[in-house]
A and B are shown apart, each in its own frame.
Chain A
Amino acid sequence: MTDLTTLEADVLAQVAAAGDLTALDAVRVAALGKTGSISGLLKTLGAMSPDERKERGAAINLLRDRVQTALNEKKAALESAALDARLASETLDLTLPAPYRRKGSVHPTMQVMDEMIAIFAEMGFAVAEGPDIEDDFHNFTALNFPPKHPAREMHDTFFFNQKEDGGRMLLRTHTSPVQVRTMVSQKPPIRIIAPGRTYRCDSDATHTPMFHQVEGLVIDKGIHMGHLKWTLETFIARFFETDAVTTQFRPHHFPFTEPSAEMDVQCDRSGGEIKIGQGTSWLEILGCGMVHPNVLRACGIDPDEYQGFAFGMGVDRLGMLKYGMPDLRDMFASDGRWLSHYGFSAFAAPNPASGLS
């Protein structure tokens, strides 16, 4: 049996010495291949007596198994070492920057517009729109601005040039023409908001020639100022996302509403910035009132049958109050740094489940 012992020791030594998979395979072929040393031994079994074969065969098979096991183990070890070496060679410096990706944003005015639409949608308001270039009837006359009345001048209207027929178009000074268009084309009950761009020929720290308004209109039987008050109180609390907000109504004058009011919100102005929901100052935030009978009549609605309210607010301005943008003019300057600082995530769409922003 010593020949087997010697052979085994010899083969196992070769297995152990194999430095790579190729060398190991050569060892395998030399031992277990068709003409390998152990295969050769197995071939000699046929010429043996049964007893001898039984004893000798078992020994050779065991030898073959042990060598196979050693080969397998060595192969696994070599493969593992090779993988380690490959992975080591594949190391990347992960402190290097990933490919550049720009971060986009939603403009705060549009975010605020979406917030307002979300709140009013919950109260059953639809969204109405109309053209920015308007005529005198829709922007003024139908809204009870008598021709040449001083109230018209207060609107700092942008005009286009006079046409041959004497008329001239203008840029709407409020989104109220949308209310007119809605009342003319739709029978009460009406419950809409009209968001959009508006224009006044005015430019300073708190005025820009273009700004955004959301106006609201409710026309039905039996609608009174109490409904207006509830609607706006509810809106303001939801918009500023606080129950602590206190508001007051003050009489005011608008040609298109009667009675008319302005709504103030309580705020703190002490620290140079305005904080809503605290303090002792009042800040005017919107105008409103009961739709003037002359306006209803101009739109073909009988003021003895239907009545309702309207309100209008500056979207940019309310956005500035809520989110702390200090200067209206920046809203329209398209400065990339400002947009990224005050802008909102694409995924911050206001909804009743997660809140407004």
Chain B
Amino acid sequence: MKFTLSWLKDHLDTEASATDVVAAMTMAGLEVEHVTDPASKLAAFTVAKIVEAVQHPNADRLRVCQVDTVDGRKEIVCGAPNARPGLTTIYAPIGAYVPGLGVTLVEKPVRGVVSNGMLCSGSELEADDGSEGILELPDDLAVGTPAAVALGLEAVIDFEVTPNRPDWLGVAGIARDLAAAGVGTLKDLSIAPVPGTFPCPIAVKVDGDACPVFSGRLIKGVKNGPSPKWLQDRLKAIGINPKSALVDITNFISYDRARPLHVYDAALLVGTTIQARLGHHGVHGDEHLIALDGKTYELTPEMCVIADADGERPVGIGGVMGGESTGCSEATVDVFVESAWFDPIRTAQTGRTTGINSDAQYRFARTVDTGSVVPGLELATKLILELCGGEASEIVVAGQAPAAPGPILFDPAYVQGLSGLAIAPERTLKILTDLGFAIEPPKDVPASAFVTDEAALVCVTPPTFRRDVEGKADLVEEVARIAGYGALPSTPLPEVPRAVGGVLTARQARARTARRALAAAGYAEAITWSFTNQKTAALFGGGAPELVLANPIASELDCMRPSILPNLIEAAGRNARQGFPDVALFEVGPVFHGDRPQDQKTTIAAILAPHAPRSWDKAPAENVFTVKADLVALLEEIGAPVASLQTAQGSASSWWHPGRSARLQLGPKAVLAEFGEIHPAVLKALDVAGPVYGFEITLEAVPEPKKKAVKTKPAFTPSPLMPLTRDFAFLADKAKAAGDLVKAAAGADKALIAAARVFDVYEGPGVPDGQKSIALEVVVQPREKTLTDAEIEALSAKIVAAVEKAGGKLRG
């Protein structure tokens, strides 16, 4: 929404500058986006008069002018054909920056004659009047008058209107708020009715809920032509092209009073009834309308259609745009003026369906003042009679405007109760009155209301243009914003007892620990989109229809991700394509298995695409065991029961290398994590070079540790006896999982065996084909006494027996 200071002053008696107005608007809740002030741009330019203009001695098309300027008489060379003695125009001194040319004037001879400045055209001042040559201004302008004043250019204030304040879409509404805020005095906004001299020959009819109220009148014998300069200037200043007096008047009232109107050329209407109804599917298909913008629109049963010919012929889309066939032109003699109230939701929907965002549509969609239907028509009548002449009929009205807002029972002390602002009740009531609210004594008092003093209670009735005000909290906002938020006190929150043990849930705390632990382990945290594309989602077990977006920002991001891994893998690919293939990334975030809240899980995913710098000491390459080590360390860090976890190889999901991936689980239904090498086919589909290793932990699957009443740890009871180690080598089938043998060995005597570890795996000469040798180191921790040789022998035998049962044969 744009307006100028002089327009504002039509309604507001004030000495305030544009800067003051902008500051007051901002603090009253009108967010100013920018102010374009031609005066600052044209500060160097002033009015001048050409005294003499003679032919340039060396150039046919140039004249040498003697010019009376603010700097005295100057000799200026000018190429404009209209440079003639007596002409009042605009002068730019040497050193001035000419915005339309983008140059700064320097003193230099033009074909041998020095030009001491420049005479300007409209386009050079970026105030294009469409004419050739230098500006021709009225002779009564004094030499030295600033160009902005001479050209009637003034600051344009552009601001954002929040959807709750449709009344701000009219300059009068802004004036009202600024007056309440103390910027000036509101002038009389009342509109005197213009009596009709004859019955309106055109009847109006509304049907159903298409349009609650529709009014109009005929004005006959008008002369439509260009509107007067003041009206054209008003519209041009805010970027609206003047068309004809009748159209300009409707545009003016739309911006002045936030009251859209429409004018029909009565001679082009068919029949004597105008009807507002819903669009209908006719026998010949949907109705159509060629609107004023020349485009054809399909009219649906959800739209309000204005129709003549007894409701048969569409002549407009109600509240959105009129039809081309009945539009006013210079030839219009009898005009039918429409002032109606169209439903905001229907108008908003029609705007979306048609793609039309007209000034009328914008205002009706945001709720036009329900009390302005007839007054708006009266104002239009007054202006039409003034500017175009003619004779007005009586007004016809069909339907009824929505009921005015009801009264709100209000205790002025609630202002302080809700805002903290200490404001005297009289001030509160004065602000509300200034804003157009009616204050009356209370009628009856409901018990539950906020009441500190029954005697102070009042009934506050919002004006019809403030349908956003529904309750007493809204009234507090009105008072607080006009009084100024700057006066709000700064009141410390009451102290509350702190939650014992911090504010994070166990899951939140674990996510935070995981983040820090992985960063410490060398992984960089990334945040990737919660979406991926459906195809990729399908590769990772997702892509269900209920997780596909109806309106994605791009087809690449059309589906909620079932796993973080694809996003990280793609990120690795992007980094590699930029020449940085060594990638270790992680993310802690949501994944989606369905659209219910419980289908969303938090996972911790990490990937490693190892391209470490080549090493001079031939260190072994990183591999799937690197991520296994990081995974297990991380699980330990977040308090997962690592010792109880099974490594279930061959059961991990399809996006992993089938032979190089596993689940870490407490049981088949309690899978905490999967890890491994990403399946080469998946990498190929994502266009990423492998190998890529990774893991993904489902945080919700990690059991929470039992809550304990006290923080004490179990007592430290180290054994005083030295541990001893015994080594064994077993032969097993090549496919045998070493983990099974380790588990068997460790379980042979849980009291004495502290650990069992693989220290060698060998295949080759000395080991039968299809078998491998697994060497185990078993750590024995005597508990009560040193073991005798015989006891150690017995234990060894137990170990061998247990491992043999698990499929390992002691190597001879």
Contacts and interface: CB of A to CB of B under 8 A. Distances in A.
A205 B504 CA distance: 34
B35 interface: no
A169 B495 CA distance: 39
Nearest to B521: A104
B525 A110 contact: yes
B496 A124 contact: yes
B551 A159 contact: yes
A123 B496 CA distance: 8
B27 A253 contact: no
Among B481, B505, B521, the most chain A Cβ lie within 10 Å of the Cβ of B481
B654 interface: no
Interface in A96-142: 96-97, 99-107, 109-110, 114, 117, 121, 123-127, 129-133
A233 B449 CA distance: 31
A107 B588 CA distance: 11
A230 B473 contact: no
A103 B580 contact: no
B173 to A, nearest CB: 15
Given A249-B486, A250-B27, A231 B493 contact: yes
Given A259-B473, A261-B485, A114 B512 contact: yes
Interface in A284-317: 290, 292-294, 302-304, 307
Contact of B162 (A110, A171, A252): A252
Contact of B525 (A96, A107, A203, A248): A107
Interface stretch (A44-52, A54-62, A144-152): A144-152
A211 to B, nearest CB: 10
B524 A249 contact: no
B227 interface: no
B183 to A, nearest CB: 15
A160 B508 contact: no
A335 B530 contact: no
Interface string B397-429: 000000000000000000011111100000000
A155 to B, nearest CB: 11
A282 to B, nearest CB: 9
Nearest to B365: A150
B600 A133 contact: yes
Contacts of A258: 471, 473-474, 476-477
Nearest to A221: B494
Interface in B9-28: 26-28
Scoring B493, B523, B526, B574 by chain A CB atoms within 10 A of each residue's CB, the highest score goes to B493
A161 B545 contact: yes
- Nearest first, the 5 closest Cβ-Cβ pairs linking A and B are A226-B420, A251-B29, A259-B477, A102-B522, A226-B491
B548 A160 contact: yes
Interface in A233-271: 233-234, 248-253, 255, 258-261
A343 B490 contact: no
Interface in B154-194: 162-165
Contacts of B582: 102
Contacts of B6: none
A124 B495 contact: yes
Interface in A151-191: 151, 153-154, 158-163, 168-169, 171, 189, 191
Interface stretch (B201-209, B552-560, B727-735): B552-560
B615 interface: yes
Interface stretch (B90-98, B590-598, B772-780): B590-598
Contacts, number: 274
Interface stretch (A14-22, A67-75, A345-353): A345-353
B613 A100 contact: yes
A106 B477 contact: no
A104 B507 CA distance: 22
A206 interface: no
B510 to A, nearest CB: 13
Contacts of B29: 250-253
B597 A203 contact: no
B708 to A, nearest CB: 21
A173 B548 CA distance: 17
A250 B26 contact: yes
B162 A225 contact: no
Nearest to B502: A121
Interface of B: 26-29, 31, 162-165, 344-345, 348-349, 352, 365-366, 416-421, 448-450, 470-471, 473-474, 476-477, 480-481, 485-486, 488-499, 502-505, 508, 512, 515-531, 545-553, 557, 560, 567-568, 571, 574-575, 578, 580, 582-585, 588-590, 592, 595-597, 599-600, 612-613, 615-617, 619
B46 to A, nearest CB: 31
A5 interface: no
A272 interface: no
A339 interface: yes
A124 B418 contact: no
Contacts of B495: 124
A293 B474 CA distance: 10
A102 B523 contact: yes
A86 interface: no
B515 to A, nearest CB: 6
Contact of B417 (A101, A224, A231): A224
Given A224-B491, A230-B490, A250 B450 contact: no
A214 B162 CA distance: 23
Nearest to A343: B524
Given A105-B519, A249-B485, A307-B418, A161 B550 contact: yes
Given A197-B590, A224-B416, 8 more contacts: A100-B613, A125-B503, A168-B550, A210-B531, A224-B418, A229-B420, A229-B491, A259-B418
Contacts of B489: 226, 229
Given A133-B592, A224-B420, A252-B31, A150 B366 contact: yes
A205 to B, nearest CB: 15
A210 B530 contact: yes
A160 B345 contact: no
A106 B519 contact: yes
Contacts of A231: 493
Given A161-B546, A224-B417, A334-B575, A121 B529 contact: no
A239 B414 CA distance: 33
A218 interface: yes
Contact of B520 (A104, A107, A159, A337): A104
Contacts of A253: 29, 162-165
Contact of B477 (A97, A168, A260, A346): A260
Contacts of B477: 251, 258-260
Contact of B490 (A147, A209, A226): A226
B524 A218 contact: no
Contacts of A153: 348, 352
B610 to A, nearest CB: 9
A251 B584 contact: no
Given A160-B546, A290-B473, A304 B448 contact: yes
